[in-house]
Chains A and B, each alone.
Chain A
Amino acid sequence: EDQVTQSPEALRLQEGESSSLNCSYTVSGLRGLFWYRQDPGKGPEFLFTLYSAGEEKEKERLKATLTKKESFLHITAPKPEDSATYLCAVQENTGNQFYFGTGTSLTVIP
């Protein structure tokens, strides 16, 4: 059973068209939830860590939120340079294992 599921798999937005990416998880105890941005041919770049339900983090046009079973990455008025794959990962309370989702590929059209 997948511990982390991301949706949608791919998303195309017009420049300025706000939207949200979803990350749902099924681990029993959450130590932390992480969002990364990955450009083609490069390693993932850290964006946010969320620890508990109700927490929010913001960086430029991105805002990440967390509930007990899912996280959202909200993108406000996106620009073409926001085009990338966004990965979600969770770390359980029980150990050092990290579980990654398959990512959402975002394309922002000028």
Chain B
Amino acid sequence: DGGITQSPKYLFRKEGQNVTLSCEQNLNHDAMYWYRQDPGQGLRLIYYSQIVNDFQKGDIAEGYSVSREKKESFPLTVTSAQKNPTAFYLCASSPSGSGGASLVIFGPGTRLTVL
């Protein structure tokens, strides 16, 4: 079955540590996204990538970094510069954005907690 996998499901980080969240998709989608979800705030875009080896900052990119070396993979690193990283992180993908509306498919999410 096609879909998006995220790992781990739960992640605990000590202050000052960098952590990397994994996201893999087998939908052959060109575009991939990282969102952060906090209670009462909805989804906020961290980074997105429309093609391999290219990505753009979203609304809240500070303290985060990404790479897109393969079409299927879009890992997110939460650095020690992110002051409030405890949140639910969602990876998503969609077909190429040109033309009609592009359905966004979400992964199951990773809950990151800073100890």
Contact = CB atoms under 8 A, between A and B. Distances in A.
A96 B90 contact: no
B85 interface: no
Q: Of residues B42, B105, B111, which shows the largest number of chain A Cβ atoms within 10 Å of its Cβ?
A: B42
Residues of B in contact with A, size category: 20 to 34
Q: Would you call the interface of chain B mostly helix, strand, loop, or mixed?
A: strand
Contact of A49 (B4, B90, B103): B103
Interface in A68-105: 87, 89, 91, 95-98, 100-103
B101 A32 contact: yes
Interface residues of A, number: 23
Contact of B97 (A43, A96, A100, A103): A96
Contacts of B47: none
A108 B53 CA distance: 46
Given A43-B108, A96-B48, A103 B42 contact: yes
Nearest to B101: A32
A31 interface: yes
A43 B88 CA distance: 9
A41 B42 CA distance: 14
